[in-house]
Structure 1
Amino acid sequence: MDDADAAARAKAKAAGSNLAQIEAAAEAAVIPLAEPVAKDWSTVRSFTIDSSAIKFEVPDNATLRNNVLTHPRSRMLSPSFLPYNKWTSAMITERGDQVRRLIETVQSRLTMAPVLDTDWPLLNSGTMTTALSNQNADIRNRINRTAHQVEAAALLYRLKVGDATAPAYLAEALKRGDELAALSPTGPTSYANQDQATRAIALSLSKALDMLWANIDSTRRATWQNAIARRTADIYNDLAGSNGRMDQYPYDAHGGNTLGFLALIGALNVGDVPAAQAWFDFAVRTYVHQVYTWSGPEGGYANGTAYGQAAADFSVQIWDPLSQALGVSIYRKPWSDGFLRFLAHFVPPGTPTHVFGDGHEDAPNTYLLKAFASRFNTPAAKWYYNSMTGVEDPLTLLQAPSPLPVTTVASAVPPPNGAYYPSVGWAAMHSSLADMKRTSLYFKSSPYGSYNHSHGDQNSIVLNSGGKRLLIEAGYYDWYGSPLWSSWYRATKSHNAVTYDGGIGQRIEGNTVNLGRNGKITGFSTSSAMDYVEGDATPAFEGALSLNRRKVWYLRSQDEAVVMDTLTAPLAHAWEWNFHAMVPITVNADGSATIVNGDRSVCVKPLTPGTTLVKRTGPAPRTGIEDHAAFTRPASTKGEFLVLLDVGCKKPAVKLTTASTSRQLTVGSQTITLPLP
C-alpha cells in the first residue's frame, strides 16, 4: 500500500459523524482503483446529434479566463446586481423577506466566539480517536459558521450600500475574515488535518474579497490573498499530484467536491493571485465536465440520495458564482437537468426518508432540494419546487438570478410515474408522482456495486405509501467504516433482498474491488397500468451463486406488486427472502406477514409452497424500533420466491396456474406471465 492509499484509509477512518452534517461523512475518502493497462484501441462507436440535442459548450481556458477578467468586480455577482434601495417592486415581492432573514442571521452571530488555533489542540497522527473525531466535527461546524458569517455580512454590505447600517456589516465581514486569515495553514485547520476547513476558509475569503474588492485596504488584501494562496496550494498539489490523480481515480467523491472549490477559488482570484491561473486551468473545465461522476448522461447519483442531496447543496453554492464568473451556466448541462429528474423520482415531495446508500434513514432537507430545483426553467422543476416545503438559505437565494428561473415557467408537470436510470441501475415506480399520498416502490441493481457509500443491496426494494415507510432499509449511519456499518448497515441482510445460509449476502468488503461485485437492470418497461423491472445481481456474490435474478411487477392500476426471485448455486444453500419494517411485523396463520404503519399497511404473502416465515433480529436502531423477518426455503442448489406485496391489505383474488411452457399469475384484474420454476 503506497502513501496515497494509506492517506485514503486514514481519511476513511476519520469520518466519524452521521448525516446530520452530511458533508462531514464525505470525509470518507475513496481508495483508488487499480487501473487496467490499455493494450489496444476500443472498437469504433458511432453517435448521432439530432434536433432534440441540447447545446452545451465550454470554451477553452483562455476564453474562460478572459470572460472572468472582463467581468467587473464582483465576479461572482451579476453586473446587474442592485443594492436593496434600487430594487423593483417585483424583486421586493420575490425576495425582500430574505434580506430580513439574512440580517437576522448576521445579527444573531455578532457575538459568537472567534475561531482560534488554540481551540483545537489535537493534530492528526494517522490514527483516529474519539477525541480527534469530535474535534474535527467542531472545526467543521465552527469554520462553516464563521465562513457563512463572512459571506453574509459582505453580501449585506453590498445590498445596504448607502444605508446607515452598511458600515456595521462591512466591519463584521472584515473582522470575521481576519479571524479566518489568521488561522495557521499548517495547524488544526490545515488540509492535512481537516481538509473541509481549509477549502471553506480559502473559498470564503475569496468570496468576501470579491464582493468587497473596493472596500479592502492593500495590507488586509495581501494578508487574505496570502492565506488563500497557502491553503489552495495544498488543495491543488493534492488534486493535481500523483500524475493527475483525479483523472486516474474519478470516483474519489471527496476529491470531486473539492475540485469544485478549487475551480471557484481559481476563478475569483485569477489575475490577482499569481498561482490562480494554474488552479483555474487545472480545475475549471475538468470540474464542469466531470459533474458528477456518479452516473451517465441521464443524470443520477449511485452513492445514494442522501449524498445526492449534499451534491445538490454543493452545486448551488458553487455553480451560481462560478457560472456568473465564467459566463457558462452549469445548470444548462444536460446531466444537471437529468439529476433534477432523478431527485424528483427518488426523493419526491412528501417522501419520509432518503433511499439506498449511506444516510438512507435520514429525512430529506427539502429546502436544499427546492433551492436546486429553482435554478431550472422546466415544467418538472416547477412542479418539484412548488411541491417542496421550506425556504432556501437567504445567503444563496440573494445571489441567485432574479427572477428565479423556475418562476418563469408557465406550467408545472411532474416527471413520468415510472423511471429507469440505466447507468446507476435504479428504477422508481410510483402510483402517481403528482399525489403526495402516493405509493412508491424503488428497485436497485447497480453496476457501482457496494463501492464507497453504496451498500450490498443489489436487487433490493424499498416500499413507501402515503408518506409512511413500509418495507425499509434497516440500520443507521454512525460513521464510515464503523463496525456497525461493516457488519450490518450496508450488509445485504439489512435490506429487502435475498441471502443464504443464515444471512450470507453480497460481498462488500475491500473497497478496491467492489465495482466488480455489482448488479445490473436487465429489463424495464412502464405503462399506465403496470411497471416492470428485472435485475441480475449474480456478480455481487462473487461466484457463490450461479444466478440471482429478481423480477418486479408493479400493478399500478391496483396498487399491488409481485416480486419473483430465481436463485441457483453450485452448492446447496438454505435461501432467505429478507424484509424489514420500522413497526412490528405480524406473523399470520397462513404464513404471510402484515405491516401496519399509521394509516398505511402492506401484507407480504408468499405465492408458492415450501416457504416458511421466520422472525429475525438485528442491532438496536438509533431511535424507535425496527423489526425483521424472512421467508426461508430449505437447502437446495435452486430456489425461488414469489411474493405478493398487497399495499393496503386489500386481499385481491390471486390465482397461479402452470402450463407446459410458462405460468400465469392473476392478481385481481391483471394477469402476468411467469417462467416455469
Structure 2
Amino acid sequence: MSFRPLRIIRVVVLACASAFALPSHADWAQSTLLDAVQPAPTSFALQAQNPPSFTWSRHPKATATTVYTIEIRKGAGTPVRYTSTRNWFLPAAKLEDGTYYWRVVASNSPTEWSSERSFVINPNSSLFEVPDNAVLRTRATSRARPRMLPVSFQPYSQWNAARIAERGASVKALTNDVVGHIPILEPVSDSLWPLTASSSNTTAFVSQQSQIRNRLNNTTHQLEAASLLYKLVPNQTYLNEAIKRGDELAALNPSGPTSFINQDQGTRIIALSLAKAIDLLDGKLDSARRARWVEVVRLRGIDMHGDLAGNNGRLDQFPYDSHGGNNLGFLALVASLMLNEFPEAREWFDFSTRAYIHSVFAWSGPEGGYSQGTAYAVVVADGALKIWDPLTELIGVNLYEKPWAKGLAKYYAQFLPPGQPVHVFGDGHEDKPYLPILKAFVSRVATSESRWYFNNIGGTEDALTLLLAPSPLPVTRSPYANAPYNGGVYPSIGFAAIHSDLWNPVRTSLYFKSSPYGAYNHSHADQNSIVLMRNNKTLLMETGWYDYYGSPLWSTWYRETKAHNGITFDGGVGQPTSGNVLNLRRKGKITAFSTTASLDYVEGDATAAYDGQLLGAIRKVWYLRGKDQIVVLDKLTSAVARKFEWNFHAPVAITRNADGTSTIVNGTEKLCIQPLTSGTTFETRSGAAPKAGTYEAHAAYTRPSATKAEFLMLLDVGCKKPPAYLTTTSTGRTLTIGGQAITLPQ
C-alpha cells in the first residue's frame, strides 16, 4: 500500500505587522484567506467534545508577542477570561451544560473584540480533558524508563495463560519478523540517495523519496521490533539487532538525503524510532552510543521544531498541511520521550503536545471523518498507531477517547464497511483498503460500533503495535457490537453514506460527496458525485489511478469531474482544479440529510465548485430502502446555454439499451439506469488509460444546449424494473416507484 502525501507549507511572515496585512473586514477573527483557520465553535452548534477547542484567525496586526484574551460567557452570566499566546485555546477543565457565547481580543488592539459566537454543551457532549503542559510534563517524567510501555507490561516469562491466549501469537509473529529480517534487511546509508531537494520536480527525485520512505520504514520497524522483543524475551540476539539498526540510523547525516528539507518523513521516523529505542533499551546501551543516538534525535528534532514553529507556529494559522499535522504528533512523542535528556525537549513538548491534541481534526469538524477521502484516512490511522499508544502512557491523555477519534472509527465503518473492495473519494480511491491498520485503530475505540466493525473485518494487526496496546484491547470493553445506522452524514467534510442494511454483507451502499474542502490537496473535483456498490461489487465507480502526486494523470483525468459520477457540460468541462488553495472556494455543501426505515434523502449544492461557470448545481438523492431503488435529481442553471452531461462509469461494460436505458452487470450484481424525463440522450465516452489489469467504461446522459437543465434518473439496483410514474399537479410533482411515492420540487 503506497501513499504519497502532499506537504504544503504556507509561508507567511508574522514577525512584523506589515507582512501579514489583510484587507480590513468587520470581524478580524474570520480571515479572508481561503486556507486560514476558521473561527470555531459557532452558530449554537452542539459540541461533540467538552471542553471544546476554540480557534480564530490571527489578528491582522499580530506579532510574535501578541497575546489573546478569550472571553467565555454562559448564558447571561458573568464572562470568564483566559489568555493564549496562540490563536487557539483548549480549556483544561470541562464546561457545565448550557449555551455559551465567546469572543476574543488581541493585545496589540485591545479594544477590537471579535464578533461574538455561540455554542452548546449538553449531556451528549463527551468529556475529554487535557491538563496544562506542566501537569503533562510531570506525568511524562514521573515514570522510570521505559516510559512508553503500558503499566501492565510484563516479560513474556511472566505471562499467565490468559495473556498468552490473547497475545502469544503476536510474540511469535514479532519473533519471526525480527529474526527473519536479520539476514536480509540491507543496511541504509546516505550513499544510496544522491539527489537533493533541488531536483524535487523530477521523476527520479519522486522515486528516491519513495525509496527513502520505504527503506527507513523497514529499518525503523526492525529497530523498534527488536527493542520491544528484547524487553519481552531478553535474548542477546535481539539486543544486538536493535543496536545494529540504531547505529545505522544514527549514522545517517541529519543534513544529508534524509534531512528534513529533503525528506521530512525520513527525519521524523528516524527521530521517533531512536527515541523509542533509547527508552526501551534503557541501561543496555553504552554511554557513548546512547549519547550519539540522543544527539541525532536532538538534531533532527531541531529541524522538525524549527519548521513547525516557524511563522510563530504556522499550523496554528494554516492547518491544512497533512505532513505538518503528522510531524507535530511525531514531535510531541519525541519530546515526551526525551524530556530531561536535553533542554530543547521541554520547549518542543510545550509547543507541540497540547497543540497536536487540539488540532487532530484539522481535516474535519470535531465529529470526526476525513475530508481527503478514505485512503488517506487510513494513513491517518497508521500515524496514530505509531504515536497515540505511547503518548497515552506518557501523558495520561488517551487520544482514542477524543470524540473526533470515535467519529473517525464510525466513519471507517460507514464508508469502508466489511468486504468493500475499494476506497471512496480522493487520492487512492481505487486501492483496496488495508485491513490490519483499520482493525488496529478501531480496536482502541471502546464503542459498540467499533466492536461490530472489529468483529466483522479481516486482517491481523502488526505485532509491534499490538504488543504495545492496552490489554485487553479497549474495544472489548463495549458490552455490545452494533453496526452504525444505515444512514450517516459528516457535514463538516460533506460526506454521506446510505446503506440498505449496513450489517448485511449483501448490502447496497451509496456514497455521496459535496465537500466544503472542494478539490483541495488530495481531494478531487467531485462535488455532488456518487459511488454505488451492491454485495461489495462496484456498479458506479470513480475512475483513474494514483501514480504519484502532481503527475500528468493526477493533474488531468484522475481528479477531474468527468472521471467521476458527476455533472459536466460542453464536452466534459467540470469543476476547476488549478491553483490548489483556490480549490477551497470551489466547494460543495450538504444542505439536507435524513434517514428513516423506508426512505433516505441527501441534498448537495455544488454551485461554488464550478467557480462561476454555473449559476446553480443542486443534486437531490432519494434512496427507497425497502425497494432498493435510487432516484437522482439534478437541477442546473447557467448564464449561457450549455449542453449538460450526467457522467457515469463502471468497472465493466456499459450496455446501451434500445429504450434509452443502460445496464451495468458486475458478476452477480447489476444496475439499470433509466432517465425519467424525455429529451435525455445516452452517449459513450472515453477516458484516460486505466491501470494495468483493470477495466473502465465511461458514458453520459446529455441534455440539449440550454441555460437550464434537469436530469431525473432512476438507478434500478438489480434491474427489477419497477413501474415508475411522474405526476405533475398545480402544487408540485410526485414520483411513484413501485407504489412508493416521493415529492419532487418543481
Q: After TM superposition, is the score higher than 0.5?
A: yes
Which residue does 2:260 correspond to in 1?
191
Partner of residue 137, structure 1:
210
Q: Does structure 1 retain, via aligned residues, the 8 Å contact 2:7–2:324?
A: no
Q: 2:671 aligns with which of 602, 606, 614?
A: 602
State the match for 2:16 in structure 1. Answer: none
Partner of 1:470: 539
SS in 1 for 2:323: helix
**Greater displacement, 403-412 / 594-603:** 403-412
Q: Secondary structure at the match of 1:402?
A: coil
User: Cα distance 1:41–1:661, how it changes in 2: closer, same or farther (>3 A)?
Assistant: farther
Following superposition, the deviation at residue 131 of structure 1 comes to: 2.1
Alignment match, 2:181: 109
* Match in the other structure for 1:152: 225
TM-score norm. by structure 2 comes to: 0.86
Aligned to 2:406: 337
Rounded Cα–Cα distance in structure 2 between residues aligned with 1:546 and 1:202? 51
**What is the 5 A alignment of 1:560-599?**
560-599=629-668
- Of 116, 141, 145, the residue aligned with 1:69 is 141
What is the distance in 2 between the residues matched to 1:147 and 1:37?
Answer: 38
Aligned match for 1:366, one of 430, 435, 439: 435
The residue number in structure 1 matching 2:716 is: 646
User: Where in structure 2 are the equivalents of 1:33-72 lying within 5 Å?
Assistant: 35=36, 41-72=113-144
State yes or no: 1:410 paired with 2:479.
yes
* Alpha-carbon separation, structure 2, partners of 1:153 and 1:42: 54
CA RMSD of aligned residues (A): 1.3
Quote the residue 2:582 is aligned against: 513
Alpha-carbon shift at residue 64 of structure 1 (Å): 0.4
Contact 2:6 2:322 in 1 (8 A): no
| Secondary structure class of the residue paired with 1:280 | helix
1: CA distance between counterparts of 2:724 and 2:35?
51
State whether structure 2 residue 673 is matched by structure 1 residue 673. Answer: no
- Please tell me the residue identity of whatever aligns with 1:635: S
* 2:314 aligned residue: 245
Shift in Å, 1:523: 0.8
Deviation at 1:178, TM superposition (A): 0.5
Structure-2 separation of matches of 1:449 and 1:136: 28
Return the structure number with greater helix share: 1
Displacement after TM superposition at 1:585 (Å): 0.3
What is the distance in 2 between the residues matched to 1:236 and 1:47? 33
The corresponding residue for 1:16 is: none
8 Å contact from structure 1 (residues 154, 173) kept in 2: yes
Q: What is residue 312 of structure 1 aligned with on the other side? A: 381
Contact persistence 1:72–1:79 (CA under 8 A): no
Question: Which amino acid in structure 2 is aligned with residue 192 of structure 1?
Answer: I
Aligned residue pairs total: 651
Contact 1:661 1:675 in 2 (8 A): no
Which residue of the partner structure matches residue 119 of structure 1?
A: 192
In the alignment, which residue of structure 2 is the partner of 1:90?
Answer: 162
CA–CA distance in structure 2, aligned partners of residues 80 and 489 of structure 1: 48
Aligned equivalent of 2:726: 656
Percent identity between the two aligned chains: 56
Structure 1 gap segments, 5+ residues each: 1-19
- Aligned partner of residue 735 in structure 2, secondary structure: strand
TM-score, length-normalised on structure 1?
0.95
After superposition, residues 171-570 of structure 1 pair within 5 angstroms as 171-570=240-639
**Bigger mean CA deviation after superposition, 407-416 or 201-210:** 407-416
In structure 2, the partner of 1:5 is: none
* Cα distance in 1, alignment partners of residues 535 and 169 from structure 2: 33
- Give the Å deviation of 1:138: 1.3
Cα distance in structure 2, aligned partners of 1:438 and 1:279: 48
Give how far 1:317 is off. Answer: 1.3
CA distance in 2, matches of 1:604, 1:42: 52
**DSSP 3-state at the match of 1:317:** helix
CA distance in 1, matches of 2:572, 2:642: 11
Q: Which amino acid aligns with 2:192?
A: D
Query: CA offsets per residue over residues 492-550 of structure 1, 9 Å max, x none?
Result: 00000010100010121111211111011111110010100011000111111111000
Asked if the contact 1:657/1:664 (under 8 Å) is kept, the reply is yes
Distance of 1:50 and 1:674 partners within structure 2: 36
CA contact (8 A) 2:279 2:337 kept: yes
Deviation of 1:122 after TM superposition, in Å, equals 2.0
The CA deviation string for residues 182-235 of structure 1, in whole angstroms up to 9 with x for no partner, is: 111111111111111111111000000001112112111100011111111111
Alpha carbons of 1:34 and 1:495: their partners in 2 closer, same or farther (altered >3 Å)?
closer
Contact between 1:30 and 1:452, CA under 8 Å: does it hold in 2? no
Partner of 1:29: 8
TM superposition shift of 1:42: 4.3
Relative contact order, CA 8 A, sep 6+: which one is greater? 1
For residue 29 of structure 1, give the secondary structure of its aligned residue in structure 2: coil
How many Å apart are 1:52 and its aligned residue?
3.0
Q: Do 1:30 and 1:254's aligned partners in 2 also have CA atoms closer than 8 Å? A: no
Query: In the TM superposition, what is the alpha-carbon distance from 1:126 to its structure 2 partner?
Result: 4.4
Aligned 8 A contact 2:621 2:632 in 1: yes
> Comparing 528-537 with 402-411, which one deviates more in the overlay?
402-411
1:305-361, Cα deviation, whole Å (9 max, x unpaired):
000011011111110001110011111111110111111101111111100011111
Cα contact 2:35–2:320 (8 A) shared by 1: no
Aligned 8 A contact 2:35 2:584 in 1 = no
**2:99 alignment counterpart:** none
Distance apart, 1:31 and its partner CA: 5.1
Q: Any conservation in 1 of the 2:734–2:742 contact (CA below 8 Å)?
A: yes
Matching residue's letter, 1:649: C
Structure 1 counterpart of 2:97: none
Q: Distance in 2 between matches of 1:287 and 1:468?
A: 38
Q: What is the distance in 1 between the residues matched to 2:360 and 2:527?
A: 25
* Cα-to-partner distance string for 1:544-587 (whole Å, 9 max, x where unaligned): 11110000001111111000000011100001000000100000
Distance of 1:518 and 1:139 partners within structure 2: 35
TM-aligned CA deviation for residue 297 of structure 1: 1.3
Q: What's the offset of the Cα at 1:50?
A: 2.2
Q: Secondary structure at the match of 1:328?
A: coil
Distance 1:567 1:272 in 2: 63
Question: Does the CA-based 8 Å contact 1:31-1:512 persist in structure 2?
Answer: no
Distance 2:396 2:118 in 1: 31
2: CA distance between counterparts of 1:28 and 1:488? 22
Cα drift, residue 38 of structure 1: 5.0
For 1:629, the equivalent position in structure 2 comes to 699
Contact conserved, 1:31 with 1:511, CA < 8 A, in 2? no
Matched to 2:217, the amino acid is N
CA distance in 2, matches of 1:286, 1:37: 16
One-letter code aligned to 1:158: K
- Tell me the amino acid that sits aligned with residue 21 of structure 1: S
Q: Give the partner amino acid of 1:630.
A: A
**What is the alpha-carbon distance in structure 2 between the residues aligned to residue 444 and residue 118 of structure 1?**
46
Give 2:173's aligned amino acid: R
User: What's the offset of the Cα at 1:436?
Assistant: 1.2
Question: Partners of 2:258 and 2:118 in 1: how far apart?
Answer: 49
What does the per-residue CA deviation read over 1:358-378, in whole Å, with 9 as the maximum and x for residues that have no partner? 111111001110100100111
* CA positional deviation for 1:49: 2.3
Q: CA deviation at 1:53?
A: 2.5
